[in-house]
Amino acid sequence: MANVADHKTICEPFGNAESIVRVTYDFAKDGGAAGVFNLITADGDLVITDAHMYVETAFTSAGAPTIDVGVVGVNTSSLIENALKAKFPAGRFINCLTALEGNATGTLYSLPFLLADTKIVAMTLGVTTLTAGKAHFFFKYHKLDK
């Protein structure tokens, strides 16, 4: 498991404000080997209220990789589940909690959800490696007041 070059640790925003963080996966910087790419790490309990993905450069591969996005150690496909590279053409904007053309098996989270202290949201590339691709992930969150 490796951090993407743009990995961020997100923590309490000012006051009761909601914050948005953008993290980028870039094949040119992060490589495309099958494995886990950490996107964000929680520094304190956070409530994720929205999550989106924008594909800047199409994901390509000689094979048929699967792509999951979720919480490491809890549900690694809770935001995007078992999507194939064909679902990620350039210019595609994806609400992460939307099943992609019927690939999901019902384990997607609903919003909002808790991202507990030290938990990580990651992208998992399975089956084969990518040869290109760049995507921006957007997470809207606020601190969980206990």
Which tens digit of pLDDT belongs to each residue from 28-55? 999 999 899 999 999 989 988 888 889 9
Which tens digit of pLDDT belongs to each residue from 86-129? 677 898 888 776 555 444 454 566 778 888 999 999 998 887 88
The reported pLDDT for the residue numbered 74 is 78
CATH number at residue 24: 2.60.120
Least confident residue range of 11-15, 67-71, 128-132: 11-15
Distance CA 72, CA 1 (A): 10
pTM of the model: 0.85
Distance CA 25, CA 18 (A): 23
Range of the domain at 120: 2-11+20-143
Residue 77: band (very low, low, confident or very high) from pLDDT cuts 50, 70, 90? low
The reported pLDDT for the residue numbered 14 is 60
The reported pLDDT for the residue numbered 102 is 46
The reported pLDDT for the residue numbered 136 is 95
Which tens digit of pLDDT belongs to each residue from 53-73? 899 998 888 887 778 888 888
Q: With beta carbons less than 8 A apart as the criterion, state whether 124 and 79 touch.
A: no
Q: How many domains does the chain have?
A: 1
Phi, psi of 96 (to 5 degrees): -60, -20
